[in-house]
Amino acid sequence: MKQVIFKIKENTPIAKNTYKMVLLGDTSGVTNCGQFVNIALEGLYLRRPISVCDYEDGTLTLVYKVVGEGTELMAKLVAGKELDILVGLGNGYDTKKSGDKPLLLGGGVGVPPLFALCKKLIGEGKKPTVILGFNTSDEVFYKEEFEALGATVLVATADGSVGTKGFVTDAMKELDTYTYFYTCGPMPMLKAIYAATNTSGQFSFEERMGCGFGACMGCSCKTNFGNKRVCKDGPVFEKEEILW
Amino acid sequence: MVNTKVNLLGIELDNPIIPASGTFGYGYEYAELYDINCLGSFSFKGTTLEPRFGNPTPRIAECASGMINSVGLQNPGVDAVIAHELPELKKHFHKPVMANVCGFSVEEYTEVCRRLDGEEQIGWFEVNVSCPNVHGGGLSFGTSPEAAASVVRSVKKVTTKPIIIKLSPNVTDIVTIAKACEDAGADGISLINTLLGMRIDLKTKRPVVANKMGGFSGPAVKPVAVRMVYQVYDAVKIPVVGMGGVSTAEDVIEMMLAGATAVEVGTANLPNPYASKEIIDALPAAMEKYKIKNLSDIIGGAH
């Protein structure tokens, strides 16, 4: 974990209620894809945890959906503004277990952390397939970005306005075999994926957090291997660990 | 040169700053960030007899100038604390540490203190009487002078280490409870624990935290804490450890003027993991600004 002051380069809407924030600053504290950052916002007492969408030397990209007080404030921030951010929080995804053809399943605001993961997998010479799930067409984002990385991308929308009509698990049925899976998204989707997958995989969870670095026990969960903290021992857990 | 040392029940502290139980774990997370030996001491995570998972999530809610938590005393239980946490803690922290103890019966408090009594690094017990009393109808031990006193009398029999009783502010008369603890043999009083609070989510129209209610803490509660520390200091002869919303060196001075011998920093550590260190670093300059040479001279100075 590292405390870093970042400067906002851009903060723009890319889909319905969804924003992309590009930040400039020291990203050396981000050590893995699937980690999150914790952002101090003026007027709020607690920091807000947001997953890392992409990180390169000196540039941090966050994609977030406006869902409450914190993200409403974030959406109003303009370029040039400085933010106090704790980076390098959480474990992130482990790509060692992926095999050649990993499957990435993202639902809505759960899509962003899969981007840095996808980039890493491709960098390792693997051939990921990505399924992105949304409610409707105007919520769809990052399809082209994933394609530009070289991934095969399928989209599912609940209303059928783009891609397969239904959920990511419906789009999964159109696929050949996969060697492993990675996912992030709303709880009902994660549960459906747990049931629908026939390989091991990794799930990224979301929880309200106090500190974000393992001190307060605000985000604990029970697992098959004892009590864990979503912020410090997670947010990524392996399928075998999960107790619903 | 200013002097930040204080003496808490026979143990000299380099400064009065003690991160509060439940916000500092066993120190490891913070030891990754700074040398935690700069602290006066710290109060480790509240320990019960058996392991506890605590309450369902969500356990956290944002509030104006503070937060609500309903962690529910999650801890690995006293035996695991002795076997795993204290040996690990010792690698990072080389001063006496405060052992925060919780229980749901007089017997549980007593047994936890008895098992921890042999641990050399423990300088003080901080006995949290805010837990519900399962034999007394579920009301917390800290809301009844008799129940609080019975915990004190029982734990005093199993340890020679100083017993500091941590009081709940959710009472009609804090003074009566503090005096009952003193009369029962408590060596010190710490206060305040969190204020019972609630937030409701307007979208779901339900309470934000799963347990509905939780403990409200943070800068917003500081005036309540200062008032209660002031009242208790007036009423008892034993030392008072003050806490509640302390976030700056100035807050420490204010708490000490109210009557605190040492000052716990709790919630401030969560949004700012460096808070306790920053307060310690800022203390000498704040003391010079307010013309304080010896910090221990100002204890109860507002009376």
Residue B132 — very low, low, confident or very high, per pLDDT cuts 50/70/90? confident
B58 — contact with chain A (CB < 8 Å)? yes
A220 — contact with chain B (CB < 8 Å)? yes
Pair (A99, A37) in one structural domain: no
CA atoms within 13 A on the CB side of A197: 25
Pair (A103, A154) in one structural domain: yes
- Looking at the domain assignment, is residue A33 inside a domain? yes
Query: Total domain count for chain A?
Result: 2
Query: How does DSSP classify residue B84?
Result: I
DSSP string, B28-76: HHHHTTS-GGGSS--EEEEE-SS-B--SPSP-EEEETTEEEE-----B-
* pLDDT over 90 at A174, yes or no: no
Query: How does DSSP classify residue B83?
Result: I
Pair (A80, A131) in one structural domain: no
Q: Which residues of A touch B63 (CB under 8 A)?
A: 45
The amino acid occupying position A195 is A
Listed in sequence order, the residues at least 6 apart from A148 whose beta carbon sits closer than 8 Å to its beta carbon are none
Q: By residue range, what is the domain housing residue A10? A: 2-89
pLDDT for A103: 97
Pair (A100, A34) in one structural domain: no
Nearest CA among B95, B92, B113 for reference residue B47: B113
Give chain B's domains with CATH numbers.
6-55+73-200+217-298 (3.20.20.70)
Q: Which residues of B touch A217 (CB under 8 A)?
A: 22, 25, 45, 54, 59, 71, 74
Pair (A64, A139) in one structural domain: no
Pair (A132, A118) in one structural domain: yes
pLDDT in tens, A26-57: 999 999 999 999 999 999 999 999 999 999 99
Please tell me which of the candidates B22, B62, B269 has its beta carbon nearest to residue A44. Answer: B62
Please tell me which of the candidates A3, A44, A46 has its beta carbon nearest to residue B270. Answer: A46
* Token duo for residue B171: 């009472």
* pLDDT over 80 at B119, yes or no: yes
Interchain CB distance below 8 Å, A214 and B23: no
pLDDT in tens, B8-58: 999 999 999 999 999 999 999 999 999 999 999 999 999 999 999 999 999
Residue A170 — very low, low, confident or very high, per pLDDT cuts 50/70/90? very high
Q: What is the mean pLDDT of residues B189-206?
A: 96
* pLDDT over 90 at B1, yes or no: no
Q: What is the mean pLDDT of residues B57-63?
A: 96
pLDDT in tens, B174-186: 999 999 999 999 9
- Looking at the domain assignment, is residue A224 inside a domain? no
CA B249 – CA B276 distance, rounded (Å) = 9
Share the mean pLDDT of chain B: 96
pLDDT in tens, B139-186: 789 999 999 999 999 999 999 999 999 999 999 999 999 999 999 999
Pair (A76, A103) in one structural domain: no
Residue at which a domain ends, from A89, A111, A128: A89
* pLDDT over 80 at B225, yes or no: yes
B60 — contact with chain A (CB < 8 Å)? yes
Residue at which a domain ends, from A89, A117, A132: A89
Q: What are phi and psi of B108, to 5 degrees?
A: -65, -50
pLDDT for A42: 96
Task: Report how many Cβ contacts below 8 Å link chain A to chain B.
Answer: 90
Query: Which residues on neighbouring strands pair with residue B164, listed in sequence order?
Result: B126, B188
Q: What is the CATH number of the domain that holds A132?
A: 3.40.50.80
* pLDDT over 90 at B59, yes or no: yes
Q: What is the CATH number of the domain that holds A44?
A: 2.40.30.10
Residue A175 — very low, low, confident or very high, per pLDDT cuts 50/70/90? confident
Nearest CA among A98, A93, A113 for reference residue A180: A98
- Looking at the domain assignment, is residue A244 inside a domain? no
- Looking at the domain assignment, is residue A19 inside a domain? yes
Pair (A64, A132) in one structural domain: no
* Token duo for residue A191: 């549960």
* pLDDT over 90 at A176, yes or no: no
Interchain CB distance below 8 Å, B23 and A216: yes
Number of Cβ within 10 Å of residue A182's Cβ equals 28
pTM for the structure as a whole? 0.95
B136 — contact with chain A (CB < 8 Å)? no
Chain B window 31-50: which residues touch A at a Cβ cutoff of 8 Å?
32-33, 45
Number of Cβ within 10 Å of residue A79's Cβ equals 13
Residue at which a domain ends, from A31, A62, A89: A89
Pair (A85, A127) in one structural domain: no
Q: What is the mean pLDDT of residues A205-215?
A: 95
Pair (A195, A102) in one structural domain: yes
Please tell me which of the candidates B24, B67, B69 has its beta carbon nearest to residue A45. Answer: B67
Please tell me which of the candidates A47, A208, A217 has its beta carbon nearest to residue B271. Answer: A47
pLDDT for B36: 98
Interchain CB distance below 8 Å, A207 and B63: no
CA B130 – CA B267 distance, rounded (Å) = 17
Q: Which residues of A touch B53 (CB under 8 A)?
A: 220, 222, 227
Q: What is the mean pLDDT of residues A77-101?
A: 97
Pair (A198, A127) in one structural domain: yes
- Dihedral angle sign, alpha carbons of residues B29, B30, B35, B41: negative
- Looking at the domain assignment, is residue A178 inside a domain? yes
Looking at CA atoms only, how far is residue B46 from chain A in angstroms? Answer: 11
Number of Cβ within 10 Å of residue B111's Cβ equals 19
- Looking at the domain assignment, is residue A12 inside a domain? yes
- Looking at the domain assignment, is residue A37 inside a domain? yes
- Looking at the domain assignment, is residue A218 inside a domain? no
Number of Cβ within 10 Å of residue B278's Cβ equals 17
Percent of chain A with pLDDT over 90: 98
CA A170 – CA B204 distance, rounded (Å) = 29
3-state secondary structure of A83: strand
A224 — contact with chain B (CB < 8 Å)? no
* pLDDT over 80 at A91, yes or no: yes
Looking at CA atoms only, how far is residue B296 from chain A in angstroms? Answer: 30
CA A62 – CA A11 distance, rounded (Å) = 9
Pair (A35, A101) in one structural domain: no
Residue B130 — very low, low, confident or very high, per pLDDT cuts 50/70/90? confident
